[in-house]
Amino acid sequence: MNLDTPASVTDTMHALAYIGDLTMGQPTDHSLRTAWLASRIAEAAGCGDADCTAVPQVALLRWSGCTANAPEFSELLGDDVEGRALMLSQKLDDPAYALMGQRLHGDMQRLAEIHCEVSGDVARMLNVSDDVELALRSIFSTADGASPSVFIVALASDVEVLSRVQGLERALSIIVHKSGHAYPAALAAVAVRHASQWLEVLDRDESWHADLAFGAATGDMVPLELLADVIDLKLPWMTGYSRRVAEAARCGALAMGLEAETAQRCYRAGLLHGIGRAAVPNTVWNTVGRLSAAAREQLRLAPYWTSRSTARLGTLSDAAHIGSYAAERLDGSGAFRACAGAAIPLEGLIVAAAAAWVALQSARPWRAAMTLEQARAVLESEAAGGRFDAGAVRAVTGGTMPAAVHTNIVLTEREIEVFRGISLGQTNKEVARALAISPSTVRTHVENVFRKLGCTTRAAATLKASTLRLL
């Protein structure tokens, strides 16, 4: 049975833009506004049809690689979300900005490589044009000969971000200063001339986004599982988590005797329930020990951000809405709504049980994975205490998982064992110790996996291996 679930390219791009905005610490309309501004710049500059079609897509997908290098940003900056928001602010007179630059010095090339490889691979999976994919693979380039879309989107982003955080006058001053090296002087002049008028339209006219054209045919479809895999890249130890939750929810719904359509709704909700995780810094997710009150509040808001995405996702809105109930509890003790009983839809009860079932059997920074029996005992106890629906728990914990999917890419059993550890964020030495082999043998297996998958970074290889269900 092929569980790949179709989603429109346009809705998927909107979802990726929303996730990217959360990951970058930006307002959730940042990428949309940037796409609109980029389109205006391209038109005013007299760009050809190909570039005018490409720039809004590049703007929406610009941050699609941000979950991939979140672990590295977290290691360098602590708060990967706030740190990247500060990076985009370009507040040169802010001591925190200077400190951030010092911490990132020497690592930006590595961070960019991870980001660009993943965003380029995402573009390829979306079947967008070669122009869009090539732009995303060099999205941070300032070299002569780079795709015009790269410069136009970078300029549009500067107009959007800088005018918002530093005011229009200061924003235009920075753009003039960057003119001729960050982007062509002719493009910068167009933006400086029209920025005030364009920003006024964005702030005044609520229907401005209707002007956006993404160049994707209405019938173009891609697997919804791609979004789940991008979501999970933010935390290596969550690799494959959303897919497993989705399948557990689908099996649970079927075990409860629900119709196939309802089971599929649960599956789709499981894939998207983690959208809001992007808004929470990795340091919070990785905390071992007691969380501060502020950290607990950030975690409570993760499903809120999933819920807020529904206004943007078109045909995916229902799945995101149901998925936002994943942390709710039957007795009202959950997050973010703290609703109880009949206020939680049946599909939400099933997804909540599925998410807990998979999480308990997965290793986390603060605890080891539980056995199937241990996880079942915990959930049954929680259901007896009124926190989970007992029927949903029985159904989910008795579900079966699908058979492996065949692919033309063949990894050996040992390569899968090794790369599963690497994909979860373990070092070569940690994998070697767990498998009782030498680090050099681990390195050889990893190189073989990268070669077979055609990838050069852990994040890109994890995304591809997840997409092919090799892990």
Task: Say yes or no: 121 and 176 in one domain.
Answer: yes
What CATH number is attached to the domain comprising 389? 1.10.3210.10
Task: Say yes or no: 61 and 194 in one domain.
Answer: yes
Task: Say yes or no: 250 and 291 in one domain.
Answer: yes
Here the tokens at position 112 are: 């960019």
Task: Say yes or no: 32 and 178 in one domain.
Answer: yes
Give the pLDDT score at 168: 97
Give the pLDDT score at 211: 67
Domain count along the chain:
3
Task: Say yes or no: 81 and 21 in one domain.
Answer: yes
How far, in Å, CA of 421 to CA of 380, rounded? 30
CB 333 within 8 A of CB 298: no
Query: What is the C-alpha end-to-end distance of the chain, expressed in Å?
Result: 18
Give the pLDDT score at 243: 95
How many helices (H) and strands (E) in the chain?
A: 24, 2
Task: Say yes or no: 128 and 237 in one domain.
Answer: no
Give the pLDDT score at 363: 92
**Residue the block writes with tokens 């373990």:** 426
The domain containing residue 75 runs over which residues? 7-211
Give the pLDDT score at 466: 87
CB within 8 A of 241, min separation 6: which ones? 232, 274, 358, 359, 362
Q: Which helix (H) or strand (E) holds 6?
A: strand 6-8
Between vectors from CA 233 to CA 87 and to CA 82, what angle results, nearest 5°?
25
Which region holds residue 106: left if phi is over 0, alpha if psi is between -120 and 50, else beta?
left
pLDDT one-digit tens code per residue, 130-186: 999 999 999 999 888 789 999 999 999 999 999 999 999 999 999 999 999 999 999
Give the pLDDT score at 218: 46
Kindly state the average pLDDT of the residues 67-80.
Answer: 96
Task: Say yes or no: 204 and 250 in one domain.
Answer: no
457 secondary structure, DSSP code: S
Here the tokens at position 438 are: 């030498």
Here the tokens at position 158 are: 């500067």
Task: Say yes or no: 184 and 43 in one domain.
Answer: yes
Give percent above pLDDT 90 in the chain.
86
Residue that terminates a domain, selected from 371, 397, 423 = 397
Q: What is the DSSP string of 265-296?
A: HHHHHHHHTTGGGGGS-HHHHT--SPPPHHHH
| Residue closest to 132 by CA, chosen among 144, 145, 121, 142 | 121
**Residue the block writes with tokens 């791609």:** 226
Q: Phi, psi (5° rounding) for residue 30?
A: -60, -50
How far, in Å, CA of 328 to CA of 63, rounded? 29
Q: Phi, psi (5° rounding) for residue 221?
A: -130, 150
223 secondary structure, DSSP code: E
- Sign for the pseudo-dihedral over CA of 435, 440, 443, 445: negative
Kindly state the average pLDDT of the residues 381-402.
Answer: 89
Give the pLDDT score at 361: 95
Confidence of residue 345 (pLDDT cuts 50, 70, 90): very high
List residues bridging with 367 in a β-sheet.
Answer: 364
Kindly state the average pLDDT of the residues 45-49.
Answer: 95
Residue that terminates a domain, selected from 397, 423, 439 = 397
How far, in Å, CA of 458 to CA of 123, rounded? 18
CB within 8 A of 203, min separation 6: which ones? none
Helix ranges restricted to H, 24-129: 30-44, 49-61, 70-77, 80-89, 95-104, 108-125
Give the pLDDT score at 208: 81
Q: Which helix (H) or strand (E) holds 392?
A: helix 390-397
**What amino acid occupies position 147?**
S
**Residue the block writes with tokens 């693979």:** 137
Task: Say yes or no: 36 and 147 in one domain.
Answer: yes
Kindly state the average pLDDT of the residues 62-86.
Answer: 96
Task: Say yes or no: 303 and 359 in one domain.
Answer: yes
Task: Say yes or no: 255 and 114 in one domain.
Answer: no
Q: Is residue 26 part of a domain?
A: yes
Task: Say yes or no: 282 and 150 in one domain.
Answer: no
How many CA atoms within 13 Å lie on the side-chain side of 39?
18
